[in-house]
Chains A and B, each alone.
Chain A
């Protein structure tokens, strides 16, 4: 069911959203000004894990980059793409053509990210993606203007999928959100399971958006006699699937395991530990991972809705920090003149920040850093609010992402 009440007024709603981005400063100062546009979901299911929190993280990066002390003005604007590629494309076009935005940041929802990727390349600006999952951003559709920072479907498939197969989960059944992202995640995980000698017994495609009751799909999965039920969905779909699996005791007796292939910390918070405990998931950032991540979280201050930063928001911080370092290095004029040059400079410099530690950016635009496998704590193990994960294992950056040669990215062959 794609009819959302907001859709009824989509046309009307899109216009004020676009028009409401006034720039206070005069265009005359534009030469020495970097404009950063944070575009994500401000009103739907991904608001908590990206949304205004991402903008807050970007503003911290601007402050800590120290670039403003050197006389450079940085302006941060934000917009809601409503998880719709057409709305997202219109925002990006206006930002670049009318408002002189140099960098687009975040952009969760794979379909919107792919549309933005094409547009930014056309206009030779910079695209720092943190929120989207599709590995196509650094694969078949890779671009010299794009850096894909935080995570992707290949990484999730290998980390969570790999852990489940190693633990003996050889036969799989997927509950898949019926759109591009769900299909990609099912495909990547299925391939990985088969390569490890496992088998895929079947999949059920659930209408997206609009499915709230997953109990019948869970029962179908259970009847397939698969050892692992893979949830190739995200956000509210994942929350409802896990909640109802607990309610229907799908995993009792330990014969069937549930694999949440894309679970964010905000999802765990929404589920509560009573329901989420024992869930295995993969992230590249956890606020309580080490002293540096804790310090970063501290500096970020109170987030909208009193949440802790998600890996997507941390990715917005780290990618903008690195971009501004490159700008400081090459000069504002050169960075503004060519997005390709700015991204090339970013790739030439090693990255280092409190959220992800040391890392690099590969030729195909893939940011390389470790990936962590976590298990959700039980209520007894948790010492307080947002104390949710225990670390099961770490995949080093070099192995965490799809090998450079396997992504069929044109930038790599040339």
Chain B
């Protein structure tokens, strides 16, 4: 009996850890979405495409300019973030007065265009991007499993970035302006703060977070134009479960759902892709505002 239980535990432990790694990506991506939605009221459907752009920019930096992983980790989010700022200034800013739906349609269209452009330029089967050898020092090699050091790094990096973002928003002056502008933009503007510029920078920061996740993902997944589309639907489910616009909600739910998905892969693999949506349905029925949302 006890032996059986131990065996089950041994089976489950590696899956829990692997689930946590996936949860790290969900958390980072849904964090960016939550920030953008909270501040701009825009449902950013281009988030998956911007995640993909992060991975591609990392590949370009390495292949064309010889800039290694660490450089890409800083540069790619900046480059893609600037792209986000341009998009916000030239297109999204014109839609703030309209219904949410317009922003959603615009970003959805943008996502299709961006993916199409990358597919035309780089094909659909993807590009190789090797994880830096330095991470081998973090390898965890224990009898029940081998965990590559790079995956350990992904969890660490994700937790750090999520924590830093939360601190900026909750504990700094900029964060206070931001939260105030979310509630009453006219009033904050009246105090002499440039709200439109703050919105632009917020969008840029959200997009940069997506690109950062893309660079993290490049050594693990095939760098291909559809890589964001595979993630984005699950990430939207995470945002809905966590509560639209809730920073804490998206981070906690991101990691949590990664765990649950990991366990589903052992118990009933066929359902591992649907379990998140089943949870979403239950949450919507019982707590329509999401687990952490104010409704």
- Chain A residues 238-271 with CB under 8 Å of chain B are 239-240, 243-244, 247-249, 266-267, 269-271
Instruction: List, in ascending order, chain B residues with CB within 8 A of A275's CB.
Output: 128, 130
Contacting residues, chain B, for A239 (C-beta < 8 A) = 125-126, 222
Q: Do residues B266 and A44 form an inter-chain contact, with CB atoms below 8 A?
A: no
Beyond A1-B233, A47-B119, whether A243 also contacts B270 by CB under 8 A is no
A5-B234 contact given A47-B124, A217-B265, A239-B125, CB 8 Å threshold: no
Q: How far is the CA of A213 from the CA of B18 in the complex (A)?
A: 9
**Among A31-39, A204-212, A286-294, which stretch is in contact with chain B?**
A204-212
Residues of B contacting A393 with CB < 8 Å?
none
Taking the complex as formed, is A235 at the interface, i.e. its CB lies under 8 A from any CB of chain B? yes
Nearest-CB residue, chain A, relative to B222: A239
CB-CB contacts of B225-245 with A at 8 A, as 1s and 0s? 011011111100000000000
Contact B226 A45 (CB under 8 A): yes
Q: Does B37 contact A (CB under 8 A)?
A: no
The answer to whether residues A266 and B150 also contact, given A211-B273, A219-B18, A247-B220 and a CB cut-off of 8 A, is no
Instruction: Please indicate the chain A residues that have their CB under 8 angstroms from the CB of B224 in the complex.
Output: 236, 270
Of B111, B150, B222, chain A has the most CB atoms within 10 Å of the CB of B222
Asked whether B269 is an interface residue with its Cβ less than 8 Å from the other chain, the reply is yes
- Is A248 a contact partner of B146 (Cβ separation < 8 A)? yes
| Nearest opposing residue in chain A for B234, CB measure | A1
Tell me if B172 counts as interface (CB < 8 A to partner A).
no
A1-27 vs B: 1/0 string, CB under 8 Å? 101111010000000000000000000
Main SS of chain B's interface residues?
A: helix
Interface positions, chain A 170-228, Cβ under 8 Å from B, are 178, 204-207, 209-213, 215-217, 219-220, 223
A372 vs B266: C-alpha distance when bound (angstroms): 37
Q: Check if A247 sits within 8 Å of B123, measured CB to CB.
A: no
Closest B residue to A271 by beta carbon equals B128
Band of interface residues on B: 35 or more
Measured in the bound complex, the distance between the Cα atoms of B274 and A178 in whole Å is 13
- On whether the beta carbons of A45 and B125 are closer than 8 Å, the reply is yes
Taking the complex as formed, is B108 at the interface, i.e. its CB lies under 8 A from any CB of chain A? yes
User: Complex: how many Å from CA A247 to CA B111?
Assistant: 30
Decide: A204 and B111 in contact? CB cutoff 8 A: no
Q: Does B96 contact A (CB under 8 A)?
A: no
Residue A119 CB within 8 A of the other chain: no
A220-B111 in contact given A44-B124, A236-B126, A248-B148 (Cβ < 8 Å): no
Tell which of A4, A47, A48, A243 touches B229, judged by Cβ atoms closer than 8 Å.
Answer: A4
Contacts of A216 in B (CB 8 A): 14-15, 18-19, 262, 265-266
Size of chain A's interface in residues, with CB distance under 8 A? 50
B11 within 8 A of A: yes
Q: Is B131 an interface residue (CB 8 A)?
A: yes
User: CB distance B231 to A212 under 8 Å?
Assistant: yes
Using Cβ atoms and an 8 Å threshold, which residues of chain B touch A5?
45, 48, 108, 111-112, 229, 232-233
In the complex, are the beta carbons of B231 and A219 less than 8 A apart?
no
For A219, the closest partner residue in chain B by CB is B14
Instruction: List B contacts of A236 (CB < 8 A).
Output: 125-126, 222, 224, 226
Among B45, B126, B128, B270, the residue within 8 A (CB) of A178 is: B270
| B15, B230, B262: residue with the most chain A Cβ atoms closer than 10 Å | B230
What mask results when residues 68 to 105 of chain B are scored 1 for a CB within 8 Å of chain A, else 0?
A: 00000000000000000000000000000000000000
Judged by a CB distance under 8 angstroms, whether B161 is at the interface is: no
Residues of A contacting B127 in the complex (Cβ-Cβ under 8 angstroms) = 270
| A61 interface residue (CB < 8 Å to B) | no
**Closest B residue, CB atoms, query A264:** B125
Tell yes or no: B272 within 8 A of A by CB: yes
Give Cα A33–Cα B74 distance, bound, in whole angstroms: 58
Q: Could you list 10 A-B pairs, sorted by A, with CB under 8 Å? A: A5-B233, A213-B220, A217-B265, A219-B145, A236-B224, A244-B220, A247-B150, A266-B123, A270-B222, A271-B128
Q: Contact residues of B with A, CB < 8 Å?
A: 11, 14-15, 18-19, 21-22, 45, 48, 108, 111-112, 116, 119, 121-128, 130-131, 145-148, 150-151, 219-222, 224, 226-227, 229-234, 262, 265-266, 269-270, 272-274, 277
The 4 closest A-B pairs by CB, nearest first: A272-B128, A207-B273, A305-B123, A47-B124
Task: For the A-B complex with A210-B233, A216-B266, A247-B151 known, give 14 more contacts whose Cβ atoms are closer than 8 Å.
Answer: A1-B274, A4-B233, A5-B48, A46-B124, A47-B123, A212-B231, A213-B221, A216-B265, A236-B126, A239-B125, A247-B150, A248-B148, A269-B125, A270-B224
